[in-house]
Chains A and B, each alone.
Chain A
Amino acid sequence: MPNKTFFWFFLPTGLAMILFIGLPIISTGIQSFYAQHDQVVKEVKKCDPFGCTVSIVVDNEETTKLREAKPLGKFNGFGTYVDRNHLAIDEIKKFWNETESFGAFVDQVTNLPFYKALIFTLTYCLFVTPNVLLLGFIIALSLNAVARKIRGPLIFGTILPMIVTPLVGSLVLFWMIDSQGIIGANIQNLMNDPYLSLKSSKTLTWITIIIYGIWHHSPFAFVVFYAALQTVPQEPVEAAIIDGASRFQRIKHIVLPHIYPVVTFVALISLMDNFRVFEPIIGFSAEGSAQSLSWLIYDNLVNEEVILFGSAAATSMMTIVGIAILLAPVLIRTWKEFKTAR
């Protein structure tokens, strides 16, 4: 296709992506260097018969004026990045000098909002992604073994958790495992502990959200693996059966190598999706004990008094860096393949 034709065909979608994905990333970058204005204060001298006092009050008029003149806020450089709510460089230095043991230091650091969120996000990715691959693969193998006639409805049932939005999916589960729900109430009875509930323990909340993640993402892995299983050639499998290979050996040495590229694809996609975990935290109302990077940004953006653009933008930029680190191996591999292909 000639370049000129390509240009016109691609222009609308390219424009949409540049304007609403490319530019916002740049805009986020710029915003991250600014912080909201401090309130303008003025000294007011008040005199009464007993003498004069000077007090400092907020000058609302001036503050509004300043905010209108420079809506972006004041320039802050990398100030937002290193403040307490983000990388917290000073705090970490302080902890390093003050704490006795390394454990105490780690304890202090993981209580800082950014690191807390980072650790939750990484834990979520680390536990959900492999389990999604495993469960999805087992379901695919298992469904592949049932009679063709009843597979349709079974597949429909299997993909239900995937097609609902995460917020609805987590709510539906939350209503069951909440202390007043069917599962939660029964566990309370079983354990004989009327105070046992999701909100009471941080570990329990994390486990619940991770289980939700596996429940929600496994169908995707299933669908892809299921389709890939249909393309596995029959001859090597039959040869392996004749040679006396066990079922497990057949899967390990024939099926898995065949669908390997698909496994990396699913791993990549679910890693990308898991890294942005956010809605389940709202669905499970788990803000207290589980915060993710995306949730931190959301929290800054729905701030009641002033929207913390700078703070949200700084967290966003660091999230993007995180995504870049996650994607780097894939991109490098693609680049190498592309170079050798030429």
Chain B
Amino acid sequence: MDYGLDRKSTSLKTFNTIFIIVWLLIACFPFIWTFWGSFKVRADFFSRSDWWYAISAFNTLIETGGKFTTDAYTQAWTEGEFWKASKNTIIVTVFVVSISLFLGTLGAYALSRSTERYAFWILIAALIFRAMPHITLVSGYLFPFFQLQIWGILPTTIVVLVAINQPFTLWLLYSFFKTVPKELDESALIDGCSYFQAFRHIIMPVMWPGVITAGLFSLMLAYNDFTVTALLLNQENHTMVPKIQSYLGTNQHEGNLMWAVSAVVSATAPLFMLVMFFQRQVISGLTAGAVKG
């Protein structure tokens, strides 16, 4: 709010600056701290005697001879088979993003161009589906999936995640498609294009910002999912998030907890970089539904 008339007093400005600094500290420090701690040994990061060890690296120095160690990472990625989990995550994410974008753009385009009443009801139904807690859906999946013997494998999980993701993708893309003027595809239709040709050659080329936003959100859903992946995949096929949970275990023997710490950092870093790169799209996506629609 850069109002010409609006003069802020110095005390207000100072207060504002302090507030933002405090908030950013609360928001970011836990991540910075975990990142820092992931290069220590457990006795330092989870110190029983003195938390200052986490900074002075007292035990890390004794155990490994250096102030920083990457032991937790190497062990988690090799012994802990985190490489397998990240491979599974990549497979799941790539397929979920591409399939849900393909289905979502088609469906949302149809919804945005339909003047019928059922389009409205479909959107409302999607909103209700969006509100369903994922765990209630999973409790519906498990039994049929066991019977059909499709439990535990990646394709099932991919299809389920795509479906769970559809309501949100539809709403998001719907509000984006609404901003593309109708005249654009109508003129194409008059020129003799079919609806699909108009969609493919006229509308999609101007829709990239919306598609990227929707893709990012599908990616975050598939990448971050715990409920579905933890219950629908077997040990062998676990993705990163359930894998992290399995490191926590009930028997917290030495090392494993540090595996979890390093795994958390390994899983979070790519996501942060991606969001840093696409920050504008993430924000426009979050607000699309609220502000425009």
Q: List the interface of chain A (C-beta within 8 A of B).
A: 1, 3, 5-6, 9-10, 12-14, 16-17, 19-28, 31, 71-72, 138-139, 142-146, 148, 152, 154-161, 163-168, 171-173, 175-176, 178, 180-182, 185-186, 215, 219-220, 223-224, 226-229, 231-232, 234, 237-238, 241-242, 247, 261-262, 265-266, 272, 275-276, 278-279, 282, 285, 293-294, 297-298, 300-302, 307, 309, 312-313, 315-317, 319-320, 323, 326-327, 331, 334, 338
Contacts and interface: CB of A to CB of B under 8 A. Distances in A.
Contact of B20 (A143, A159, A238, A327): A143
Contact of B140 (A185, A220, A223, A313): A313
A215 B244 contact: no
Given A21-B129, A172-B34, A297-B136, A16 B166 contact: yes
Contacts of A300: 139
30 contacts: A1-B115, A6-B114, A9-B107, A14-B122, A21-B137, A24-B140, A28-B136, A31-B139, A145-B13, A146-B20, A157-B27, A159-B275, A159-B279, A163-B282, A165-B223, A167-B226, A167-B245, A168-B241, A172-B34, A180-B46, A182-B54, A223-B286, A227-B284, A293-B133, A297-B138, A320-B136, A323-B131, A323-B132, A326-B131, A331-B128
A223 B290 CA distance: 10
A178 B37 CA distance: 14
B83 interface: no
Contacts of A242: 5
A76 B78 CA distance: 48
A241 B107 contact: no
Question: By DSSP majority rule, is chain A's interface helix, strand, loop, or mixed?
Answer: helix
Interface string B45-80: 111101100100000000000000000000000000
A171 B3 CA distance: 42
A315 B261 CA distance: 33
Nearest to B226: A167
A224 B291 CA distance: 8
A297 B20 contact: no
Interface string B1-38: 11111101000110011011001101110110110010
Contacts of A185: 47, 50-51
B163 A21 contact: yes
A9 B106 contact: yes
B130 interface: yes
Contacts of B13: 145
B287 A13 contact: no
Contact of B51 (A158, A166, A186): A186
Contact of B231 (A157, A160, A182, A302): A302
A338 to B, nearest CB: 6
A13 B136 contact: no
Contacts of B286: 220, 223-224, 227
Contact of A165 (B5, B141, B241): B241
B206 interface: no
Interface string B272-285: 10011001001110
Nearest to A297: B135
A17 B163 contact: yes
A157 B166 contact: no
Contacts of B129: 17, 21-22
Contacts of A186: 51
B100 to A, nearest CB: 9
Nearest to A230: B291
Contacts of A148: 2
B3 A238 contact: yes
Contacts of B97: none
Contacts of A14: 107, 122
A238 B136 contact: no
A275 B140 contact: no
Nearest to B225: A165
A21 B4 CA distance: 52
A142 B20 contact: yes
Contacts of B241: 165, 167-168
Residue from B103, B116, B131, B276 whose CB has the most chain A CB atoms within 10 Å: B131
Contacts of B33: 172, 176, 182
Given A20-B160, A231-B291, A237-B3, 5 more contacts: A10-B110, A20-B162, A163-B272, A164-B268, A301-B138
B80 to A, nearest CB: 16
Contact of B106 (A12, A24, A138, A334): A12
Contacts of B12: 247
A181 B136 contact: no
Nearest to A173: B30
Contact of A320 (B37, B132, B264, B283): B132
B201 interface: no
Contacts of A22: 129
Given A158-B27, A265-B289, A163 B275 contact: yes
B199 to A, nearest CB: 8
Given A163-B220, A167-B241, A175-B46, A241 B5 contact: yes
Contact of B28 (A160, A220, A278, A331): A160
Given A3-B116, A24-B137, A160 B272 contact: yes
A1 B138 CA distance: 36
Contacts of A23: 140
